[in-house]
Amino acid sequence: MKSKHCPVFVFTLVFALLLGSLALLPLKSAAYEKAQQVEQKKEAVKGAFPDTILEVGGMPAPFPSRLRIVIDAGKGEVCLQCHRIPYPNIPKNPSRPSDILRSAGQITAPGGLRLLTSLPYPFNKIAGSWSPDGKQIAYSLNLFQDDWDIWVMDANGKNRHPLLSGSTVDRAPDFSPGGKAIVFQSNRSGNTDIWTIDLASKRLTQLTNDPGEETMPRWSPDGKKIAFQSSRSGNEDIWTMELETGQWRQLTNDPARDESPVFSPEGDEILFVSERSGNKDIWIMNVDGSHRRALTKGAEEDMAPGWSQDGKKIIFSRKRGDNMDLWVMNRDGSQQIRLTTHPAAETNPRFSPDEKWVIFSSNIRGKWDVLLMQVDASMVDPSHSPLKRLTDSEAREVGPVWSPDSTRIAYNSDARGYWSIWVMDADGKNKRQLTSKDEDAGWPVWSPDGAKILYWSRRNGNEDVWVMDADGSNKKHLTDHPALDGEAEWSPDGKRIVFVSERTGNGDLYLMDADGSNQKRLTFNDKALDWTPHWSPDGKKIVYLCDGTPNAILEIWTLDLETMARKHLTPETQDNVVPEWRPPDGREILYQGWRGGVYARLEGSYDLILMNPDGNDKKILIPSPVQEMSNRWGPDGERILLWSWRTGNPELFLVNPDGTGLTQLTDNLAWDMFPAWSPDGKKIAFDSDRMGNFDIWVMEVPQ
């Protein structure tokens, strides 16, 4: 990120560091405003470039090897043809002061997350609590090693400002039930004690004054008590204090460490973390300290628990090895569900009062930040959600393809550290790897009878079309040429395969029998690239893209396999992609057409357009100022599935062929994309990063 004000920013930043006060940071500098604009612009684009291959986090891009047009949509490059995106890398901690400003621009979080504390970058920010109305968030900011301040910001990350600053350690802020005060821990008296600050008068009140250390204070729901941990007895235990009388009460007394108490929403129980079983686990007890029992048990370390507003769910952080992720469970410890799968660490989660959001701390950028995650029933209570997560490993699993009988799903996964083809039952069970590391394979295509799978492989460094039985056996090389072969698709009767090859120097369409024999060239435009072929339902024609016009503008053509006649369907427009025949009879063709702006700058939109097979009677279905992506006909041809940025974030939509009945299917801060109908028309599988990595999800089709 470059700015003519950068020297002023850096000088001011150094000056602020010397003074030891964030109050002098120029948060309204041009650099800050620039970063905020980047953070807010979900559909930001940086351009399209020829000769660019889209690689999904290192996944081999489907053919062709050139003219893979991509855009940058805020989280990574999106291919305008296959619509794949890469998983963002974790930004590195800047090693030099000159790197600080550049790192501050890395403010787009992965998954369904929003980075709330993008600036100032080089300081740790730890999540604290929500205000009772859900409009503000209190958090701690670390300026120097022994200097933590209490800050407050709006729930969207705006209007960040210090509430308490100085050379003290003020941490763990918690809003009072009425939202008029904040309790926190501080060493401002020379020892770590519990304090409150009245938000209106800014008056400070010291609640504890003991030789021991009192930390991690939390209000009771009625505002009459404070729970905290204290070393007063020589060991870290859980205590409560009556605010009216100042009376202390010790709730735990165990040689092991007890910490992080949290009152239940009803005020009758307290969650806490204990090491009495040998490692950190989540425990619960009555408010008087009785009936203590462990909710989590195992080799992992569980910490930082928090309640949902209705008291039915508990959110917490689980550490395995060097990584920490967010988890949620029922009040009794059952149904433990992993919420995040990032390679970074996440901790200190807190549900918002309306239970639609979670704030937490993460070191996704090296230093700790406060992030926001949208949550819904599909994530925390899947038994009561129309959405179901089918894959839940730490890997990226994308590109679901249904078997013809709707009972299985083939997909791409890097679960073994490399990309390969997997298959699973439609309910996510019986996952099986079909291709190995040396095959470097992807993009499976089921045969019409479901017995075989076409795929693209870069085995031995050569890119060719392969086929295998649906169980991964009997792999066969269908094309064997030094040039690139790919984009293969079965004919409707399963007897022939159309594919694209660069064996003549350009991309041309080729045809072969299902066993790889009788290969013949179909298109002969030596100055163009012909690609992405799709059969008509009757198997007599193929629709495809061609860049044979000046400036490599993508246009739609058809090829009649009986007469070999080619027809140009979109001569009057530029940049048209993803053509699809309307099932079951192919009476129309749906595609995405560019509208407005200069293509190289991607100003404008891709709209869904419907036309007759001869190119006449073109109709824009749902005009929009943003891109509509991955148009997919329903099996009966009566509805269209797509994903769109029209809400500011990629979501799934349904629309009727006449453009009416536009219905939003998903609503999450994450990316929901690349949807696929089940052949029976009852379900939709799609890619989503709502829980960190990209996983495959499924939902019932609303009727």
**CA 128 – CA 111 distance, rounded (Å):** 22
Let me know: does 318 contact 309? Beta carbons within 8 Å: no
Distance, in Å, from the CA atom of 675 to the CA atom of 184, rounded to the nearest integer, reads 47
How do the residues of the chain divide into helix, strand and coil, expressed in percent and rounded to 5? 10, 40, 50
Of the CA atoms within 13 Å of residue 587, those in its CB half-sphere come to 6
Whether 598 and 697 map to the same domain: the answer is: no
Q: Note whether 497 and 465 are within 8 A (CB).
A: yes
Distance from C-alpha of 326 to C-alpha of 420, rounded to nearest angstrom: 28
Question: Do residues 278 and 259 both lie within one domain?
Answer: yes
Helix 30-40 vs helix 6-19: crossing angle, to nearest 10: 100
* Residue from 332, 349, 241 nearest 293 by CA: 332
Any domain includes 698: yes
Other beta carbons within 10 Å of 396: 24
The pLDDT of residue 692: 67
- Tokens 């994450």: give the residue: 670
Q: Which residue carries 């060991």 as its tokens?
A: 235
Is residue 55 in some structural domain? no
In a domain, 105, yes or no: no
Cis upstream peptide for 583 (omega within 30°)? no
d(CA 230, CA 645): 50
139: tokens are 């958090």
Q: Is 21 among the domain residues?
A: no
**pLDDT score, position 604:** 55
Same-domain check for residues 488 and 514: yes
Pairing relationship of beta strands 530-535 and 181-186 according to DSSP bridges? unpaired
Cα 296 to Cα 59, 252, 254, 265, distances in angstroms:
37, 18, 18, 20
Distances (CA, A) of 586 to 319, 366, 379, 525, 582: 54, 53, 39, 26, 5
Same domain, 424 and 527: yes
pTM of the model: 0.71
525 and 493 in a common domain: yes
Number of domains in the chain: 3
Encoding tokens for residue 579? Answer: 């053509």
Burial of 82 (0-12, 13-18, 19+ CB in 10 A): buried
**Same domain (yes/no): 347, 229:** yes
Q: Can you tell me the distance from the alpha carbon of 184 to that of 197, in angstroms, rounded to the nearest whole number?
A: 8
CATH number, domain containing residue 259 = 2.120.10.30
Is residue 44 assigned to a domain?
Answer: no
Alpha-carbon dihedral 358, 359, 361, 367, rounded to 10 degrees: 130
Backbone angles phi, psi at 56, to 5 degrees: -80, 85
603, 623, 643 — which closes off a domain? 623
Rg of the chain over Cα atoms, rounded to whole angstroms, equals 29
Residue with tokens 């926001």: 372
Does a structural domain hold residue 96? no
What DSSP letter does each residue of 144-169 carry, written as one string?
ETTEEEEEEEETTS-S-EEEE-SSSB
- Which residues constitute the domain of residue 461? 399-623
Q: Does 70 map to a domain?
A: no
605: left (phi over 0), alpha (psi -120 to 50) or beta: beta
Provide the Cα torsion 416, 419, 423, 425; round to 10°.
70
Domain boundary among 572, 603, 623: 623
Is the domain of 308 the same as that of 453?
no
One domain, residues 610 and 638: no
* DSSP code string of 224-292: SEEEEEE-TTSS-EEEEEETTT--EEE----SS-EEEEEE-TTSSEEEEEE-TTSS-EEEEEETTS-S-
- Evaluate whether residue 539 is within a structural domain: yes
Question: Is 549 found in the same domain as 525?
Answer: yes
CA distances from 423 to 178, 381, 396, 430 (A): 52, 26, 14, 8
Give the burial string for 603-613 (b: 16+ CB within 10 Å, else e).
Answer: ebbbbbbbbeb
Q: Among the three residues 623, 641, 661, which one is the final residue of a domain in this structure? A: 623
Alpha-carbon 605 to chain mean position: 23
Q: How many residues comprise the chain?
A: 703
Reported as a single tens digit per residue, the pLDDT across 268-293 is 999 999 999 899 999 999 999 999 99
Q: How far apart are CA 366 and CA 95, in angstroms?
A: 11
What long-range pairs does 683-690 form, CB within 8 A, spacing at least 24? 683/406, 683/426, 684/641, 684/652, 685/390, 685/400, 685/402, 685/409, 686/400, 686/643, 686/652, 687/398, 687/399, 687/400, 688/112, 689/87, 689/110, 689/111, 689/112, 690/111, 690/112, 690/374, 690/378, 690/379
DSSP 545-587: EE--SGGG--EEEEEETTT--EEES-TTSS-EEEEEEPTTTT-
Q: What is residue 76's predicted lDDT score, i.e. its pLDDT?
A: 39
Q: Rounded to whole angstroms, how far apart are CA atoms 109 and 230?
A: 36
Question: What phi and psi values does residue 379 have, to the nearest 5 degrees?
Answer: -95, -40
- Residues 376 and 525 reside in one and the same domain: no
Residues of the chain with pLDDT under 50: 1-110, 597-603
Do residues 166 and 311 both lie within one domain?
yes
Residues 617 and 669 both lie in one domain: no
What was the pLDDT predicted at 119? Answer: 64
